């Protein structure tokens, strides 16, 4: 009877060799994934952006310089962005419209070492999802946003607004800027003349508040 042990030994070594090659390929892939400059994910995912989502975060595996350029569509939608570590965070200035399509384009993408990526475009449609379906970071941002808005509404000056002078020389109202990480109160003074603007600022002092503590924007009356 022919001894088939040499064949079995060769087969065993072949299996071992194939396993070894497989391990090398897997190790090379893992190293490549760890070293290659790339996007690691978004929060929320492009298929789960809610109308109430306060931001869209794009994460990379390496720190980013401030030179990354970000554009948002529709262009007239209020949004701002910041680069923080290895992430780009786009903050929405108002609630997204259900079913509307939005996109965020990143260009001039490099890491701090100079590695480059081609432009990245993230397209999504806003969905009517409950806030409980959002990530913990999104939920905390919503809670902080609501707390900031409540603080704005509780501001003593805000509670007196809108106010129009007896002779309609000026009107003092307010807006809330949601394009920042926290809502920001903006006092809006509408007056046709510099005198009216000054009178409005003096009125703020007269009712017991320091104008220098507020961000004030001057606008012309609608009929001007």
Number of CB atoms found within 10 A of residue 181's CB = 17
Q: How far is CA 140 from the centre of its chain?
A: 14
Sheet order of strands, 163-164 included: 163-164, 170-177, 184-191, 215-219
Q: Mean pLDDT, the chain, as a whole number?
A: 89
For residues 44 and 23, state if they share a domain.
Answer: no
Residue 12 lies in a domain: yes
Cα separation, 96 vs 128, whole angstroms: 10
Residue 139 lies in a domain: no
Judge contact between 55 and 82, C-beta under 8 A: no
For residues 63 and 110, state if they share a domain.
Answer: yes
For residues 7 and 90, state if they share a domain.
Answer: no
DSSP letter at 127?
B
Best CA proximity match to 94, nearest among 45, 46, 52: 52
- The CATH number of whichever domain residue 81 belongs to comes to 2.60.40.1220
DSSP per position, 44-69: S-TT--BTT--EEEEEESS---TT-E
Cα separation, 5 vs 217, whole angstroms: 90
Residue 137 lies in a domain: no
* pLDDT tens per residue across span 33-68: 556 889 999 999 999 999 999 999 999 999 999 889
Count how many domains the chain has: 3
Cα separation, 11 vs 30, whole angstroms: 29
SS3 label, residue 163:
strand
Q: Which long-range CB contacts under 8 A does 161-168 form with residues at least 24 apart?
A: 161/187, 163/203, 165/196, 165/199, 165/200, 165/203
Q: Which structural domain range is residue 84 located in?
A: 39-130
Residue 147 lies in a domain: no
For residues 31 and 43, state if they share a domain.
Answer: no
- Digitized pLDDT (tens) for each residue of the chain, 224 residues in all: 455 666 666 677 777 777 777 776 665 555 555 568 899 999 999 999 999 999 999 999 999 998 899 999 999 899 999 999 999 999 999 999 999 999 999 999 998 888 889 999 999 999 999 999 999 999 999 999 889 989 999 999 999 999 999 999 999 999 998 877 778 999 999 999 999 999 999 999 999 999 999 999 999 998 65
Residue 117 lies in a domain: yes
Residue 200 lies in a domain: yes
Both tokens of 191, joined, read: 């007056």
Residue 80 lies in a domain: yes
Number of CB atoms found within 10 A of residue 62's CB = 16
Cα separation, 141 vs 135, whole angstroms: 10
For residues 20 and 97, state if they share a domain.
Answer: no
For residues 26 and 43, state if they share a domain.
Answer: no
For residue 53, the model assigns a pLDDT of 96
Both tokens of 43, joined, read: 């929060």
For residues 78 and 57, state if they share a domain.
Answer: yes
For residues 122 and 204, state if they share a domain.
Answer: no
For residues 117 and 66, state if they share a domain.
Answer: yes
Angle at 193 between CA 187 and CA 195, to 5 degrees: 85
Residue 178 lies in a domain: yes
């Amino acid at each position: 009877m022919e001894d088939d042990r040499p064949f079995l030994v060769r087969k065993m070594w072949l299996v071992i060799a194939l396993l070894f090659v497989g391990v090398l390929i897997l190790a090379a892939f893992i190293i490549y994934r760890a070293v290659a400059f790339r996007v690691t994910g978004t929060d929320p995912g492009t298929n789960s952006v809610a109308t109430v989502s306060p931001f869209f975060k794009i994460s990379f595996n390496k720190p980013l310089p401030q030179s990354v350029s970000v554009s948002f569509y529709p262009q007239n939608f209020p949004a701002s962005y910041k680069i923080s570590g290895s992430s780009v965070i786009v903050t929405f200035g108002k609630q997204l419209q259900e079913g509307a399509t939005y996109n965020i384009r990143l260009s001039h993408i490099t890491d701090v070492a100079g590695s480059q990526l081609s432009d990245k475009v993230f397209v999504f449609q806003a969905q009517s999802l409950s806030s409980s379906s959002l990530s913990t970071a999104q939920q905390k941002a919503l809670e902080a946003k609501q707390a900031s808005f409540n603080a704005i509404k509780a501001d003593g000056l805000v509670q007196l607004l809108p106010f129009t002078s007896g002779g309609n020389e000026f009107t003092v109202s307010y807006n809330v800027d949601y394009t920042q990480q926290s809502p920001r109160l903006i006092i809006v003074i509408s007056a046709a003349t510099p005198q009216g603007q000054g009178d409005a600022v003096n009125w703020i002092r007269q009712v017991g508040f320091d104008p220098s503590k507020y961000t004030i924007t001057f606008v012309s009356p609608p009929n001007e």
